[in-house]
Amino acid sequence: MQEMPVACPPGAWSREVATAYVVAALETKGSASRDDFDVESIVDVSRVVADSWDFTTIDDEIFWRIASRFLRD
């Protein structure tokens, strides 16, 4: 997936950092905002997929599949 928009030393990943990472990924496209998604659910599922808070290991296609599941009406 994309690089972290801010420096995050190894081992410093946390739920808060992972949430900021997801929000940055969602808003980078410019066509949606965090309010268009259930960010907490994206974070929860991404945590299981990555088996850590470091979501940079998740393939882009997989991340966007996860995100699309939690697009709000």
Question: Running along the chain, 73 residues long, what does each successive block of 10 average in pLDDT?
Answer: 58 88 89 92 97 92 96 90
- Give CA–CA dist 52/50, Å, rounded: 5
- The answer to whether 39 touches 19, Cβ cutoff 8 Å, is yes
Q: Note down the domain range covering 64.
A: 15-69
What is the pLDDT, as a whole number, of residue 40?
97
In the block, residue with structure tokens 């801010």: 6
| Residue 41 CB partners (closer than 8 Å, separation 6+) | 69, 70
- What's the confidence (pLDDT) of residue 32? 86
Q: Is residue 50 part of a domain?
A: yes
Number of domains comprising the chain: 1
Instruction: State both tokens at 58.
Output: 């998740």
Identify whether 21 is part of a domain. yes
Question: Which residue type is seen at 69?
Answer: R
The answer to whether residue 6 is domain-embedded is no
Instruction: Give 37-57 pLDDT, tens digit per residue.
Output: 999 999 999 999 999 999 988
> Is 5 part of any domain?
no
Q: Look up the pTM and report it.
A: 0.84
